[in-house]
Each structure stands twice: as structure tokens, then as C-alpha cells.
Structure 1
């Protein structure tokens, strides 16, 4: 059996400025957290190898700027994405309310082949902040995810590394599924040629 080729999965993290996109990525890739907030300019990416169902895959995780003035850069970064992570801060209601526009914007810019089944994941970050400051309940977030076709949802804390690993494992798994389905829908041209040689269909 021929060894499977190495898989590179492109993952885009979207959400308002300050929800913790960079912190989540850094926590997952390098197990580091910083209290210093520095806005991402444009976009940045990190890679990490993970094992999913016995396959080693490389995740290329793109962290994008949440400020509107950088959103015009979206097209170049969104194209070719295998999964999109929508992130909000559970202590900031507005960051949750903009998930719709982030999702719609991504679908317009990325133009995935099968928009209805494209894998999204929602992360409600900063659950380490005291309960009294929380503005978005788990129930409300889950309802939104259900309305959008059952998007997986995780409550995370980049600071305490809560659910970060589990969330990215699900991201990798769903992105890999998407990648496999795309491959299956494009038959290998060599096989087609071989088929034609075996069965020229000339009727002679």
C-alpha cells in the first residue's frame, strides 16, 4: 500500500479584535500565554504537526486581524482554507453578535466549493474571567451553533489552556474530512487515462 502523502491543512481564525485569537494559536502551537496584548497587523500564521486517526498532518493556522481596516486583506488569506474558526469573548456580547458577519464574510471571500457543508468551529474564549462578568451564556452560543447547522462549540481559556487542545483536535479532524472529500470528488487523471486505454469505446 502506497504511503499517504503528507497533508497540509489551512485553518483560519476569525473574530473581533481582542477576543484572544493570537493567544489561542500560541497556546496550541507553543504552549505559551502572554498577558501583553498586541494587535495583529494583517495576518500571521504558525504551523504544528498533529496526529489525527493515525495520520500525521500539518496544520497551518492563520491568525487574522480583527480590525475592520484590515478585512480587505481577507480574500488572499481565506482562499484554500480547510476550516474556519469563529472566535468570541464570552465577556463581550458584541464580539458574539458579530459572528454572523465574520461567517458570511468568510463564505463570500473564500468561496468554498460546498458552502453549506464547509467546516466551521466556534470558540467562546476567556472563560477564566470571573462568572459575574460573563455576557454570553453557553446556552445562547449553543443555540446559535445549532441554527447554523450544528457547528461544534468549545468554551476555551487560552490563559489556562482549557479545551484548547481538544478544540484544535476537532478542527484538524473536520478539516481533514473536508480535504478527503475534496480529493474524492476529483478522480486521478492517470486512472481515467488508463481506463480509456482499456476501454477505447471505438466499437471495433
Structure 2
């Protein structure tokens, strides 16, 4: 395997309660919790793995879905390599609001006029008996917007790893990632140098 590492920043957007944090915890920690605690502002996780023989380090930004946290500032979005838009297949409003989340991201990240990689994920596909948005409808909208679409379940661990591998390949395939990544340099922490005390001269 090459000693180079791709470092990618991925932002996850969507309404509160659609399962953004659960998706990231399932992917990074292989964990799922039934207890729900809303993300305040933003949080991020790291995941290092190998895709197609290349070392990858993903910086995954989890954002709060509450309206008062939507405008997180341009600096927050800057430098993003891929955006994940998440909705809940049992909540029609969360699907309708994806349009606003997409617009928010493109405007604030400065990618309005580029073919930027965005993936749409319909979470909670294990609850298909409570589905409010059909797969066909979601896929049609994603095709119109030129987005990649998949359905996942953080609870049952369905398509989670596949979605992030797809994200990674999408990012690595972009023109700016065609060049070799910088080699990984190990971080060595050294104790501070001890300054020898001056000897006092005898009187």
C-alpha cells in the first residue's frame, strides 16, 4: 500500500432527527443507540481506512438540523470534498427540506457553478412499512438534481459502509485528487528541552 494518504472533508446535512449522528456512529464506531440526543451546532468524527489500496482519512462533520443552526457560516463549509444530504424515509417533510439544505450548502461552500459531489441518503430503510417517500420518487428527484442516491439503515447497518466507500471513491476520482497525495509523516512529540540552570559563582 502507498505511504500516501487522502485527507477528505465530508459534511452531513439534513433535518433534526433523520439519523445523521446515528449514521456516522455506525460507520465510525460500529455502534447504534436508541436514545436520541440532538447535536448542538456541529461535531466531527474521524475514520481511517483503505479504499482500492489507498489510505484514506475522512473528517466527518455532523451538523445540527435545527433551523437556528442552519447558517453555520461560510468558513464551516469551506474546503468540503463531498456533501451527504440525509432524510428520513418515514418523514415526508425531511425529504422536502432537502432542497433547502442543498441550496444552503452550495451557496455557502461556493460550489454553485461546479459539478460538486453530493450524495442523497434515505435513512431508516428498515422501516419500509412506515415509508412516506417511495424509492422511485426519491430516485427521480436525485436524477434530476444529478445526485447519487441510496437508502440506508443506521439501526440495522444496511448500506452504511457502501455509502461511505462510494463517497470516498467519488472524491478521489475528482480532478484535484488525480495528483498524488502528500506522504504521511508520523507525528513525534518531544518533551521540551531542559535549559540547564546557571551555576552561581562563589563570592
Smaller-chain TM-score range?
Answer: 0.7 to 0.9
Once the 2 structures are TM-superposed, how far is the Cα of residue 167 of structure 1 from its aligned partner?
0.5
Q: How does 1:162-181 map to 2 (within 5 A)?
A: 162-178=158-174, 181=175
Distance (whole Å) between structure 2 residues aligned to residue 184 and residue 174 of structure 1: 12
Larger radius of gyration: 2
**Equivalent in the alignment of 1:28:** 27
Match 1:182 to one of 166, 176, 180 = 176
C-alpha distance in structure 1 between counterparts of 2:61 and 2:92, whole Å: 24
> TM-score by structure 1 length?
0.83
Q: Judge conservation of contact 2:4–2:55 (CA < 8 Å) in 1.
A: no
Q: How many matched pairs?
A: 178
Residue 166 of structure 1 deviates from its aligned partner by 0.5
Shift of 1:60: 0.5
**Unpaired runs of 5+ in structure 2?**
180-203
**Distance between the aligned counterparts of 2:73 and 2:34, measured in 1?**
27
Distance in 1, matches of 2:138 and 2:63, equals 22
Q: Provide the residue aligned with 2:191 in structure 1.
A: none
Q: Alpha-carbon deviations, 1:90-109, whole Å to 9, x = none?
A: 00000001111111110000
Segments of structure 1 that go 5 or more residues without pairing to the other structure are: 186-204
Matched residue of 2:125: which SS? Answer: coil
1:159 to 155, 158, 171: 155
In 2, are the aligned partners of 1:82 and 1:176 still within 8 Å (CA)? no
Please give the secondary structure, in 2, of the residue aligned with 1:22: helix
RMSD, aligned CA = 1.6
1:138 has 2:159 as partner: no
Return the alpha-carbon distance in structure 2 between the equivalents of residues 90 and 84 of structure 1. Answer: 19
Deviations along 1:36-95, whole A, 9 cap, x unmatched?
111100100101112122111100110001011111214232110000000000000000
